[in-house]
Structure 1
Amino acid sequence: MRVNCVANDPKALADHQQSRAVPFEGVYPLTVGKVYVAVGMTIAERALYFLVRDDSGGPSFVPAGFFELFTAPIPEGWRFGLELGIRATGRELWAEPGVATWGYPELVEDPAHVQSLFEFDPDALDVFEAHIAAAEAAS
């Protein structure tokens, strides 16, 4: 799925798209006007995020509010999963912020995959890059 970046500063997002980390976040490594390939989506806390390769070359979950509004079909081969955050309340949401995830199978079905991406694990990055390449070739 291709998404067009229209913003990169989390402080400029609507309140309902801001995470609790906004006071500590800086500008994301995204270029306004650039089109990115999203290979996954997640709802964490109360905000929707897209998984893209950012301008630093790595995987990044970035607020969906950074992108132009659009309508698109769910890409072929994507999966969907509800996460523990769907039942979390109050303080529990701090420990289990994930509500739902859509995307390539490893992203949804392997609970360790996202953490491995954040740790720049070579195997997880290979999986991510393979899905980026497939999505770019398909569009």
Structure 2
Amino acid sequence: MPCGKPGDYKYGEHTADVLIQAYGCTLEEAFKNAALALADLTYYSSRVEPKESREVAVEYEDLEGLLFRWIDELLYLFDAEKFALSRRIEVKLEKGNGYAIRALLYGEKYDINKHGFTGLIVKAMTYHMMEIKKVEDYWLVQYVVDI
């Protein structure tokens, strides 16, 4: 028996990505802010206390690959260890034959009641629309994550 329904189903527009633009007076500060932006997509880093620390070291031949590995490592720490980043992050960027980040991250085990939940879960880092450049007197680090 016919009714007024428009069809059996319909596809709607939905974005499964988030574009992040992080800034810094130095490239190190921009990478730090890229990490904080990632954290704040899922929980409120301002509520995280720096009770524990993790050392992170990533290397790559170019800055784009370094950014990918940096964000990917942070995703791993949250997914595997439920390590929530506080706003205290010490980043040192080194340039040799390629690039390296040596970082000391402070935070604690994620607690939804304390740190909150924004409603977004980041699944993966991508190379889509990635950009790292000096703009006048500051650095821009841009990347897209899959949610």
Q: TM-score, normalised on structure 2?
A: 0.25
- Structure having the higher strand fraction is 2
| More relative contact order, 1 or 2 (CA 8 Å, 6+ apart) | 2
Give 1 or 2 for the bigger CA radius of gyration: 2
